Amino acid sequence: MICAGIDAGSRAIKIILIDTVNMQVIAKGLTDQGVEQDRLASGLFKKVLKKHGINKKDVAVIVATGYGRNAVSIADTTVTEITCHAVGVHNLLPDTMTVIDIGGQDSKLLRLDTAGKVRDFAMNDRCAAGTGRFLEVVAERLGVELEGLGELAANSTNPAAISSMCVVFAETEITGLLASGTAREDIVAGVQASIAARIISMAGRNAEPPVIFTGGVAMVSGMAQSMQAALGQNVTVCPDPQMTGALGAAILASKRLKKANT
């Protein structure tokens, strides 16, 4: 049988299908988030099934997670993204003790036990200054693509100090830096360092290794290095970091199926 995990995040909807016999990923898909979350999730689900020649009746259990999980009507149940990210990362990297997850609208730091269970966590969902939205604002302000920020930051020789704790004020601060002749490269490097500092503050510098970086922002080049510099230890980007929530949801769907059959 097949189980599915749907991560309805704030910026994108992700789906993973796994074969419950060998627990292998057999299909996945992603689409931008929007106002009609249920329609988008259902549409992506159908698209993934069609692409991989999978019959809907063969999908036994669907678990939804993420920001918009309660809007996904095709799901059999929902699970918090904190639990799903922990399960997904632990499946890929079983030794993980700390997970840093930065998405479009929030950021989280999870501490796991040796079995991959969440011992405790800290979450920022009130301020965009420590999230992917901050990077989007910076990219728009500097006139570059989000994917190009890392290349700019890599060429920085003197990262700018971004002191504002609010993305709105930070944008004003960036405008001032540009007006004063600060290089774009130094502004981006400063923004990445600022985001890292906000995330690390949630850990109180108490992040037990191995530390794994996940979420969409983990795909922005330079962010892992900024996180390492702020934390003072190695930070590893999780394989396919944007999909770990969906993977965890699919694994939990499989466990739900097995429990129902025992």
Per mean pLDDT, which range of 77-91, 95-109, 156-170, 189-203 is the poorest? 156-170
Summarised one tens digit per residue, pLDDT across range 48-103 is 999 999 999 999 999 999 989 999 999 999 999 999 999 999 999 999 999 999 98
pLDDT for res 126: 59
> How far is CA 60 from each of CA 38, 254, 257, 261, rounded to the nearest angstrom?
19, 9, 7, 11
Q: Which of 105, 104, 101 is nearest to 84 (CA)?
A: 101
Residues 6+ apart with CB under 8 A from 244: 84, 85, 88, 89, 92, 101, 214, 215, 238
Q: How confident is the model at residue 129 (pLDDT cuts 50, 70, 90)?
A: low
pLDDT for res 147: 81
pTM across the whole model = 0.91
pLDDT for res 124: 77
Q: How far apart are CA 169 and CA 44, in angstroms?
A: 37
Q: How confident is the model at residue 10 (pLDDT cuts 50, 70, 90)?
A: confident
SS3 46: helix
Domains and their CATH numbers in the chain? 1-93+240-262 (3.30.420.40), 95-238 (3.30.420.40)
